[in-house]
Amino acid sequence: MFEKLIRRKIRFPYKGLCQAEDVYDLTREQLDALHKSMVAAQQPSEGGLIERRKTKEVEDMALRLAFVKHVFNVKTAEALARGKEKELADLKQRVLKVKQERKDGKIDTMTDAELDAIIAL
């Protein structure tokens, strides 16, 4: 898909015209707005059901829409992955805190001889 966009030099109607690689820099909200504007700009084919052949313009528009959807899905998946990574990091921090508290509790119950042995190490 990306190769077709580049070979055909297809541009996207966002703040003038932007290239395919620029679409990756847009936020999900901007991608959604871009998709809505492109769908609104689509013109129904004049031939109706009789004319089944796609013109280059129709193919380009379908390619643009598919690419914007793809980038949106990629960004959504990345956001979900970042959320899971954050949850995992928070869990690790909680586990380390509990572990440290347990260690501190063991030290509190040690005798002076045990503490002296640790200090001697």
Q: Domain coordinates of the chain in residue numbers?
A: 2-91
Give the closest residue to 34 by CA, choosing from 77, 68, 8. 68
Q: Look up residue 82 and give its amino acid.
A: R
Q: What confidence tens digit (pLDDT) does each residue in 84-105 have?
A: 999 998 899 998 888 888 887 8
Answer yes or no: pTM beyond 0.75.
no
Q: What confidence tens digit (pLDDT) does each residue in 16-32 have?
A: 788 888 888 888 999 99
Give the closest residue to 33 by CA, choosing from 63, 5, 13, 62. 13
Give the closest residue to 34 by CA, choosing from 60, 57, 21, 15. 15
Work out whether the CA dihedral 67, 68, 69, 73 comes out positive or negative. positive
Q: What confidence tens digit (pLDDT) does each residue in 31-55 have?
A: 998 888 888 887 665 555 545 556 7
Residue 46 DSSP symbol:
T
Percent with pLDDT over 90 in the chain: 17
